[in-house]
Amino acid sequence: MNWQRHWKWVTGTLTGLAVFLAGSIWIIDPYDNLPFSPPLERAPLAQNQRYSYPAIARNPVFDSVVVGTSTTRLLRPEALNEALDARFANLSMNSATAYEQARILEVFARRRPAPKYAIVGLDDVWCTTGETRDKYTFRRFPEWMYDANPWNDIPNLLEFKTFEVAGRQAGYLLGLRKARYGYDGYANFLPPPREYDLEKARKNIYGAAGPRRRGAPAVPPPGIESKRASWSYPGHALLEGVLRTLPGATRKILVFVPYHQFRLPVPNTVAAAQWAECKARITAMARRHSNTVVLDFMIASPITARDENYWDPLHTTNAIADRVVGLIAKGVKGDPSPDGEYVILGQGQ
């Protein structure tokens, strides 16, 4: 055997294969983030939204955005567009930490001199007390996709996951696969309405057959007021940074999401006091920033009191999500809720 010829053939084959694979990745551009890739009609196809959403955040067609966890994923961009005369992307990510939400909002704001609206859904993530906060979830977070340098994305794509998503993207481009999310980031993750089962929903809400009530102490724990100042909310510094980064012309809407009433903290408890303090601090924060409003749906209301409005304690039906969109549009104008479904906690001038 001619070993010199053999190794030349092996080297040439491997080089050709590497060039072919690199060229395929560049053409397909599975995450739609490579510089100078062909302008194909790609779709967000990565199972982990943290990989799919940076490209949507950079898309100049959108002038407004929603960020949050799954509690705001059901806010339809089409409904928001109609209610607020804007072009929304919904970039809410399952279980997104405060840091991850701030990062995707940073990517969105970086490409626009003055976004029209920025809606931030406020839930446990922003009101958890403690000295530290979780930066990430168990899901991978590609920091290299979120900076301003597209060139450093190239070496980070050399992993098996890229080829998996590239295969899906190729299937989509050939008409063989459907998009995982809409071009605006929205996806209805609920089962079809015909599968809704009130008894099953109540088991999700109450942890057993329901409905049922929880007892509340007659008075708050002694000394609770003196402890308020000592509570630390590590997510608040990030939220302050978000409000400081967004231009004054951007309408900033902070929305405490409508948890089911059974999920709300029991009155006269430490948890209730911590939530009240969190809301008070965020309201004070909003008043320091122009064009900012805080809407509180996380209250006892005709929405949160009805089991039929929920699939589980955190997620409403699609009909209620659309109703919340309409109510947000009212609240932004300063109009009080017609039936007490939200409270305007405060707004900056």
> Is residue 30 one of the residues assigned to a domain?
no
Overall domain count for the chain = 1
The whole-angstrom separation of Cα 58 and Cα 80 is: 19
Is the pLDDT confidence value at 202 over 50?
Answer: yes
**Strands 292-296 and 343-347, bridge-based pairing:** antiparallel
The whole-angstrom separation of Cα 165 and Cα 161 is: 6
Residue 10: its pLDDT value, please? 47
pLDDT tens for each residue of 336-348? 998 999 999 988 7
Instruction: Give the containing element (helix H, strand E) for 21.
Output: helix 3-28
> Is residue 36 one of the residues assigned to a domain?
no
The whole-angstrom separation of Cα 273 and Cα 227 is: 10
Supply 147's token pair.
């900076």
Any idea what the Cα angle at residue 281 is, between residues 279 and 285, rounded to 5°? 115
> Is residue 246 one of the residues assigned to a domain?
yes
Please report which confidence band the pLDDT of residue 156 belongs to, taking 50, 70 and 90 as the band edges: confident
> Is residue 17 one of the residues assigned to a domain?
no
Supply 52's token pair.
């799919």
> Is residue 162 one of the residues assigned to a domain?
no
Write the single-letter amino acid at 263. Answer: R
pLDDT tens for each residue of 251-279? 999 999 999 999 999 999 999 999 999 99
Residue 219: its pLDDT value, please? 81
- The DSSP symbol for 316 reads B
Domain extent at residue 282: 47-149+183-347
Any idea what the Cα angle at residue 340 is, between residues 336 and 345, rounded to 5°? 55
CATH number at residue 100: 3.40.50.1110
The whole-angstrom separation of Cα 240 and Cα 101 is: 13
> Is residue 28 one of the residues assigned to a domain?
no
> Is residue 171 one of the residues assigned to a domain?
no
Is the pLDDT confidence value at 122 over 50?
Answer: yes
> Is residue 117 one of the residues assigned to a domain?
yes
Residues near 212 by beta carbon (within 8 Å), at least 6 away in sequence? 206, 262
Q: Is 130 left (phi over 0), alpha (psi -120 to 50) or beta?
A: left
